[in-house]
Structure 1
């Protein structure tokens, strides 16, 4: 029973250790990714600052850098909490192993003392020859063998427990050192975050003194978004009108076929046809999903919410919805992703290209049933209207201007934009 208890105990330790190691590795990967994104933003920001030209997009990038830094600090906090749990668990394990070792040694010492006290009066041969029958002699022989074997097992358990105890003490010391390093790293990140917030405040103050410039930038951004929204809305409305016309033609053809079939049946029976019961077609949630193929595509797109691949690798510098800089508000109908120069843009889902146009940068609109994805601020496009694309297919490259390389990405359901961040794989 003691052996089973020990085996179960060690099995539990190995399983919990593997789980904690997996969580720790995931946190380390996330922290490394955040560090890379912060460094990438800093490099691009330094290039832009070198031009001595301050824009709202620079402020957006600074905000994104601060947000990533705060997320990195939160990740470090999670690592510290995880290490605290590991330290607590390993401390408990060490104490438990010490208790087990003490008990094993005590039991082993008792066996050794018993064997020593009785070795003269219970010699093996005398003990066996004193048996009343051959069967009893055999049992006594087996007993002596098992007693000796048990002592050897106990000695082996003691060695194994000592080794396990030594390993856990080493791991505990490593965890404590890792925690100290993480706490030092956390302090460095907090100091850097404070400096970045001071820099942002200074840049905002500088920008606030240039009210006319800010207004021009905001007006330009609003007009750019308005042009883009008009182009996307017009394309979607065109798709809706075409879908309605196709649905109307299909309904008319079906009604004509039913009328002809009824007339034929009435002539064959030479009786007046009975008026058929009026059936009301169920209204679809969207005319864009009225056909089986489009309904399936819409359902598949919706089913991949939160798992869609990113159109480019980068950092979100401007988020969905209204954003305010010094009382100046701009409503973003998508997200802006800062990426590397010449970055390739990939379709996030299979569909059909329904629009390729220029609104101060090329725009590609792809239909996925009742959903649409829009990729704008492109330098070039590798697809054309009517072309079928697959998930991950290269559809163009991002344009680079004085504010860096930013892809504007949107997702629409029918004629309404939705927040893309909730759809992309985190």
Structure 2
């Protein structure tokens, strides 16, 4: 029973440690990915720091760097928590193994004492010959053999348990060292976070001194973005009207076919032809119904929706430096209907899902691509060059162009819309 308990404890510990190791691996990969994003943002900041003119990009980059640094500290905290659980489990296992080892040694000592008392061959023979009959003598011979074998097994259990105990102690020592290193890393990240926040304070102080010019920059940006958003809305509306026109044509075709069949039936039955039915009005349909009227569009729309939270990023590597929604910088406010993703120079822009190119338009030397996915649309803004045209069918992750540099950074402005309604892309793309 003791041996069974020992094996169960070791088996359970192995399963637990396997799960912990998997979680540790995931956390380590996440931490490394965050660090790569921080380093990329720092490179961008180093390029823009030499400029005399403060830009919104610098503020967004610093804010994103602070957010990533906080995420990294949170990831380190999770790693430390996992190690604490592992240390606790290993400590309990060590104590259990020590108890089991003590019990095994006591049992073995008792067997050794018994063997010492009966080590004489004459005593063993007397033990056998003192039997009442042959059957009892046979059982006593078997008992002596089994006792000898069990003693050898018990010695093996003691050695195996001692090895397991030494192994667990080594793992425990290693885990304690890992925790110590993580605590040091956590302290370094907190110091860097403090420096980032100091830099943020300096930038905001500089901003307040140049408030007038900065407000003018934001007004100009809002005006330009409003122009682009109107063009995007118009392109989406054209797609809706095209769907409405096709729905109306299909309704007229069905009505004409039904009238032809009814007339043929009436003629065969030698009765007057019925009045021609009026095609149902396509305008009564909702936008969602119009955009998913065909089987292909319905499949695209359902596929897009089913992949919420798992859509690939529109660039292979990048960091969200401006999030969706209302933003306030000093006293100036503006709204972003998507996210701004800072990426590397010359990065390839990819379609996040299969669809059809609905629009390709140029504004102030920068191109906007609109892709239709049934009821949904994705918008890729600030492209230097494009490799698709209106009407092209695209696949998931297919290259559609190259991101342009805005100032010193390569920034892709990315939106997701359901009809005309802007959605938060962070809820749709993978984490």
Q: Report what 2:353 is aligned to.
A: 349
Distance 1:265 1:416 in 2: 48
Tell me the SS of whatever aligns to 2:400.
strand
Query: TM-score w.r.t. structure 1 length?
Result: 0.94
1:299 to 302, 306, 309: 302
Distance 2:358 2:179 in 1: 54
After TM superposition, the structure 1 = structure 2 runs for residues 192-211 of structure 1, keeping only pairs within 5 Å, are 192-211=192-211
Distance 2:122 2:56 in 1: 95
Distance 1:117 1:224 in 2: 101
What do residues 6-25 of structure 1 show as CA deviations (whole Å, max 9, x unaligned)? 22221111110111111111
Q: Report what 2:327 is aligned to.
A: 323
Answer yes or no: is the 8 Å Cα contact 1:317–1:338 preserved in 2: yes
| Higher mean displacement: 308-317 or 261-270 | 261-270
| Higher mean displacement: 121-130 or 317-326 | 121-130
1:333 aligns with 2:337: yes
Distance of aligned partners of 1:131 and 1:38 in 2 relative to their CA distance in 1, 3 Å threshold:
same
Tell me the SS of whatever aligns to 1:348.
coil
Answer yes or no: is the 8 Å Cα contact 1:58–1:403 preserved in 2: no
Distance 2:52 2:417 in 1: 37
Distance 2:273 2:130 in 1: 114
1:82 aligns with 2:82: yes
Tell me the SS of whatever aligns to 2:245.
helix
Distance of aligned partners of 1:99 and 1:275 in 2 relative to their CA distance in 1, 3 Å threshold:
farther
What do residues 52-100 of structure 1 show as CA deviations (whole Å, max 9, x unaligned)? 2211111011100010011111111111111111111111111111111
What do residues 105-136 of structure 1 show as CA deviations (whole Å, max 9, x unaligned)? 11111122222223449844444444455544
After TM superposition, the structure 1 = structure 2 runs for residues 383-394 of structure 1, keeping only pairs within 5 Å, are 383-394=388-399
Q: Report what 1:421 is aligned to.
A: 426
Distance of aligned partners of 1:283 and 1:5 in 2 relative to their CA distance in 1, 3 Å threshold:
farther
Q: Report what 1:227 is aligned to.
A: 227
Q: Report what 2:370 is aligned to.
A: 365
Deviation of 1:264 (Å): 2.0
What do residues 375-399 of structure 1 show as CA deviations (whole Å, max 9, x unaligned)? 1111110111111111111111111
After TM superposition, the structure 1 = structure 2 runs for residues 149-160 of structure 1, keeping only pairs within 5 Å, are 149-160=149-160
After TM superposition, the structure 1 = structure 2 runs for residues 160-175 of structure 1, keeping only pairs within 5 Å, are 160-175=160-175
Task: Please list every run of 5 or more consecutive structure 1 residues that lacks an aligned counterpart in the other structure.
Answer: none
**RMSD over equivalenced CA pairs, Å:** 2.3
Answer yes or no: is the 8 Å Cα contact 2:251–2:279 preserved in 1: no
1:217 aligns with 2:221: no
Distance 1:119 1:181 in 2: 56
| Higher mean displacement: 129-138 or 211-220 | 129-138
Distance 1:263 1:347 in 2: 50
| Higher mean displacement: 294-303 or 173-182 | 173-182
Distance of aligned partners of 1:274 and 1:119 in 2 relative to their CA distance in 1, 3 Å threshold:
farther
Distance 1:134 1:258 in 2: 104
Answer yes or no: is the 8 Å Cα contact 1:34–1:68 preserved in 2: yes
Task: Please list every run of 5 or more consecutive structure 2 residues that lacks an aligned counterpart in the other structure.
Answer: none
Distance of aligned partners of 1:130 and 1:193 in 2 relative to their CA distance in 1, 3 Å threshold:
same
Q: Report what 2:60 is aligned to.
A: 60
What do residues 222-266 of structure 1 show as CA deviations (whole Å, max 9, x unaligned)? 122212211211111001001011111111111121122122222
What do residues 184-238 of structure 1 show as CA deviations (whole Å, max 9, x unaligned)? 2111211211111111111111112112211121012212221221121111100
1:289 aligns with 2:306: no
